[in-house]
Structure 1
């Protein structure tokens, strides 16, 4: 385990791969930690430096702030500058993809290419996020766990024993950290900033995604000139978990193409 000191406390990191190698940073979805990427990392190109971290208020990272998307973007920028030491390929899923869009817009010098998985320039509505916050405040994360699993995973995966592990990860997220991230999502709209992006982008959707429907994900891909869009059949919101081979088959060539300047 490794920690990066931030104004709010510790940001938990895990770094794999050789020092000095081209870096890839991963940003997780709401209610998950850096284990989100465990199934795909062995399938990605060797010789790169893979940097994962827990968003503030998630996993082993400290609580503090996080109610605006800029908080999370500042954390990602700190990881890139202090751990990666230079420009990276940014891989983000759901809110992680939104964080990547903010970083690429504000600090294009730090992002050479980007993978946006199951995300959009705007995710949900203020009302929908407030309803989620109200539910968590009233009954805790356990009270929304079943509904979240239905949005995250296709029926086939929900029938496996693995579902209980992902449900536990989500339900054990600190409520304050989860609520803060929901508040950040409620106010975040990167549509115009993302429309101005000019860098290589791979966009991935799942045909069974109940949180970020494929049509919404594709609409964001269409904002970015030259962005490649792929939909994984039968996958939900976390295709890196449900369909790791299919997800990695899309991402691995992209990393090879853009990891060296």
Structure 2
């Protein structure tokens, strides 16, 4: 593991794989840390440099003092690339991490070589939804809403057949700092790239689990339709976190896309 200082905040990041290979950076979803990508790493072994980080308020990274907008999260991503001495990387973004990835492609296009947008959209949810989520977390904590979130995160089969793993991922969620979680909800509430993503000019693959209860397939498909040349694929047997439920299939789709994009 490694740490960097951005302003007065510490960000936690990690690099795996040969430093002379093309880089792929992974941006996580709300309520998760970079361990969600662990099962996918073997598929990339020796072929890519893999960079993961905990966004602000999650994992071992500090929570921002005051509002932390999408633009600030994009700057955090760029700070991680700077710390890794990477000029340009493919960015794989999941959910809010996908918004960060879109922002990177729009506001720092020279730093983003290709995009994989997983279970995400140009706008996620409504202001009313996020205000209610913030109020619930601030009043009762993450444990009070954890079970409803897990229903959106995972397919019915996963919740039925993989109860021990489900409990472990629930632990990750409820141990996320409440202030970091709420601050990220506020950033998502304010983020709307609907009118901007048509300007994305890097090869883009949009993916979604067929049982995603947070950003359903039609929502992701609609964003893919806004991005010139973007491809859209549905991952069977997965909810909002296909990197956990279908890591081999997700890795295959990403590798194929990176090959087509020339990021090899």
TM-score by length of 1: 0.97
Task: State the partner residue of 1:11.
Answer: 11
Task: State the partner residue of 2:191.
Answer: 188
Q: Which runs of 5+ in 1 are unaligned?
A: none
CA distance in 2, matches of 1:88, 1:258: 12
CA distance in 2, matches of 1:101, 1:222: 14
CA distance in 2, matches of 1:225, 1:256: 19
Deviates more, 1:11-20 or 1:172-181: 11-20
CA distance in 2, matches of 1:10, 1:162: 29
CA distance in 2, matches of 1:3, 1:117: 26
Q: 1:223 to 1:156 in 2, by over 3 A?
A: same
Q: Deviations over 1:193-249 (max 9, x none)?
A: 211111100110111000001100010011111111100122100011011121112
Q: How many pairs were matched up? A: 261
Indicate yes or no: 2:113 matched with 1:112: yes
Q: 1:45 to 1:17 in 2, by over 3 A?
A: closer
- Secondary structure of the residue aligned to 2:52 is strand
- Secondary structure of the residue aligned to 1:191 is coil
Task: State the partner residue of 2:57.
Answer: 57
Give structure 1 regions of 4+ aligned residues with deviation exceeding 2 angstroms: 44-47, 255-261
| 8 Å CA contact 2:19, 2:49 repeated in 1 | yes
Task: State the partner residue of 2:24.
Answer: 24
- Secondary structure of the residue aligned to 1:81 is helix
Equivalent runs, 1:200-239 vs 2, <5 Å: 200-239=203-242
User: What is the CA RMSD across the aligned residues, in angstroms?
Assistant: 1.3
Deviates more, 1:37-46 or 1:138-147: 37-46
Q: 1:84 Cα deviation (Å)?
A: 4.1
Indicate yes or no: 2:87 matched with 1:86: yes
Q: 1:8 Cα deviation (Å)?
A: 3.2
Task: State the partner residue of 1:152.
Answer: 153
CA distance in 1, matches of 2:47, 2:247: 20
Deviates more, 1:225-234 or 1:57-66: 57-66
| 8 Å CA contact 1:45, 1:252 repeated in 2 | no
